[in-house]
Amino acid sequence: MFKLPEQAILFEESHFNAKIRQCPNCSLKWFQIFTEFLNSKGDNQTFVFIPITDDDDVSIRQCKSESALISCISSIAKLRRYLVMHYPGEEASRVAWTSSDLHIGYHD
Ligand SMILES: [Zn+2]
């Protein structure tokens, strides 16, 4: 996932970023969102990868605020399965496909 070339960077902060990536082989686009926060259990990182259409791409790029972006991407995520990679500090990482509602957590 991380090797897919970046097509657009919507937000780029140390504890929050949002990007559109595209597969060079099949042209499939992916929306990636990253959040991170520190607590007593350590460094909590979550990456979400959602396959998107060209129409989704247009909608996503129009979001100028984090809240608008999360609202947009949450409605897109309802329509398909997506990949969540969760690294909760010292606990075991969890990587899974899901179709449950998207929850973008708190970040520092
Ligand atoms: Zn591909």
Q: What are the pLDDT digits (tens) for 30-85? A: 999 999 999 888 899 999 999 999 999 999 999 999 999 999 999 999 999 999 99
3-class state of residue 5 by DSSP: coil
Ligand 1 mean position, distance from CA 21 (Å): 11
Bridge partners, residue 42, by sequence? 39
Picking from 20, 40, 37, 18, the residue whose alpha carbon sits closest to that of residue 29 is 20
What does residue 6 show for φ and ψ, rounded to 5 degrees? -75, 130
- Tokens standing for 62? 């129009």
Which residues, 6 or more positions from 64, have their beta carbon under 8 angstroms from its beta carbon? none
Report d(CA 94, CA 68) in Å as an integer: 27
Q: Does residue 97 register a pLDDT over 90? A: yes
Ligand 1 mean position, distance from CA 4 (Å): 9
Is residue 76 within 8 A of residue 50, CB to CB? The reply is yes
The arithmetic mean of pLDDT across residues 15-39, rounded, is 96
For ligand 1, an ion, list residues with CB under 5 A: 23, 25-26, 28
Ligand 1 mean position, distance from CA 9 (Å): 20
pTM of the model: 0.92
